[in-house]
């Protein structure tokens, strides 16, 4: 039979361990990413040097801005295009088992499930616009929290271009991306994305954007598609 002293010591140890575990858990608490974010002009569209495969080089050079940029049709060319957008805001909402990232541009809503056992065999697009149109160029995403970051893995991309602003890195069905989203000590959102695509790149393409909390109300964008080849002249 334990003495009262032994029981007290054991209790203290239990409490200490509990406190330590709690402290550790608190150190790596789920980050608060909620809010409306607008791009930080001092750190955006930072891409690593493109390391193309011959096929990637061919696809990049084949890009015709008048016919191959789906932006004219209110469709983002890829995930990077949504994050690179400077004129509009992105909104993050965190729920118990999923995260919603909305982009004002083109009225995109991205529903991402947390803590999944991999992607489903039928990986339907995670992103839709307000009309319910599936955005295949932004793939299927799953997410989890890792330390102080929200991590998002995306597969099942439709072929296209990661972005069409200033550069046009192509993307294939084989592309996989990992987004790491954190908030820094100055309450700025940092989005780092690694794109791996063995068809187009010999090395992962790394993109970095930073965002401030936006003062603007998050509004409906109401995109009107156009055909650039039919205007002007």
Partner 1 sequence: MLQAHHSTALNFSDEVVSFEGTVASVKWINPHGSFVLEVTNEDGVVEEWLVEMLARIALQRGGFDFDAFEEGDRIQVSGRRGYREYTLRFGEATLPDGTVVKERLPTTQRFRK
> How far is it, in rounded angstroms, from Cα 109 to Cα 130?
7
Q: What are phi and psi of 14, to 5 degrees?
A: -60, -45
Q: Which stretch binds partner 1 (CB under 8 A): 26-34, 115-123, 135-143, 220-228?
A: 220-228
Residue 231 phi/psi, 5° resolution? -110, 155
CB atoms within 10 A of CB 128: 17
C-beta closer to partner 1: residue 27 or 224: 224
Under the criterion CB under 8 A, does residue 131 sit at the interface with partner 1? no
Residues 168/143, Cβ–Cβ less than 8 Å: no
Kindly state whether residue 232 participates in binding partner 1, applying the rule CB under 8 A. Answer: yes
The nearest distance, CB 203 to partner 1, in angstroms, is: 23
For residue 215, what are its two tokens?
């003062």
Spatial distance between the Cα atoms of 148 and 31, rounded to a whole number of angstroms:
5
Q: How far is the CB of 229 from partner 1 (least distance, A)?
A: 8
Q: Is there binding between residue 72 and partner 1 (CB under 8 A)?
A: yes
Q: Sketch the per residue contact string, 154 through 193, with partner 1: x for CB under 8 A, - otherwise.
A: ----------xxxxx-----------------xx------
Let me know: does 206 contact 48? Beta carbons within 8 Å.
yes
Please tell me whether residue 62 binds partner 1 under the rule CB under 8 A.
Answer: no
| Six-digit token string for 60 | 């990049």
Nearer to partner 1, 13 or 213 (CB): 213
When binding is defined by CB under 8 A, the residue of 33, 35, 38, 52 that contacts partner 1 is 38
**Phi, psi of 83, rounded to the nearest 5 degrees:** -75, -30
By beta-carbon proximity to partner 1, the closer residue of 37 and 142 is 37
Helix, coil or strand: residue 10: helix
Name the residues that contact partner 1, by CB under 8 A.
38-41, 63, 65-66, 69, 71-72, 74, 85-88, 104-106, 164-168, 186-187, 212-216, 219, 221-224, 226, 228-229, 231-233
């Amino acid at each position: 039979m334990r003495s009262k002293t032994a029981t007290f010591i054991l209790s203290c140890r239990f409490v200490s361990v509990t406190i330590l575990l709690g402290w550790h858990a608190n150190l790596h608490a789920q980050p608060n990413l909620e809010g409306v974010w607008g791009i930080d002009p001092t750190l955006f569209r930072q891409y690593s040097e493109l390391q193309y495969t011959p096929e990637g080089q061919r696809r990049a050079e084949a890009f015709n801005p008048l016919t191959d940029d789906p932006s004219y049709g209110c469709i983002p060319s890829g995930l990077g295009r949504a994050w690179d957008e400077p004129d509009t805001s992105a909104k993050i909402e965190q729920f118990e088992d999923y995260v919603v990232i909305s982009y004002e541009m083109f009225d995109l809503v991205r529903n991402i499930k947390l803590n999944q056992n991999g992607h489903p065999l039928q990986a339907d697009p995670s992103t839709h616009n307000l009309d319910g149109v599936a955005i295949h160029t932004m793939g299927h995403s799953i997410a989890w929290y890792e330390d102080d970051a929200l991590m998002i893995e995306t597969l099942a991309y439709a072929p296209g271009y990661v972005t069409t602003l200033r550069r046009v890195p192509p993307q294939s069905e084989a592309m996989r991306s990992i987004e790491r989203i954190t908030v820094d000590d100055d309450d700025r959102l940092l989005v780092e994305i690694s794109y791996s695509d063995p068809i187009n790149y010999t090395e992962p393409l790394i993109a970095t954007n930073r965002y401030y909390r936006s003062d603007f109300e998050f509004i409906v964008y109401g995109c009107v598609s156009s055909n650039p080849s039919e205007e002007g002249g």
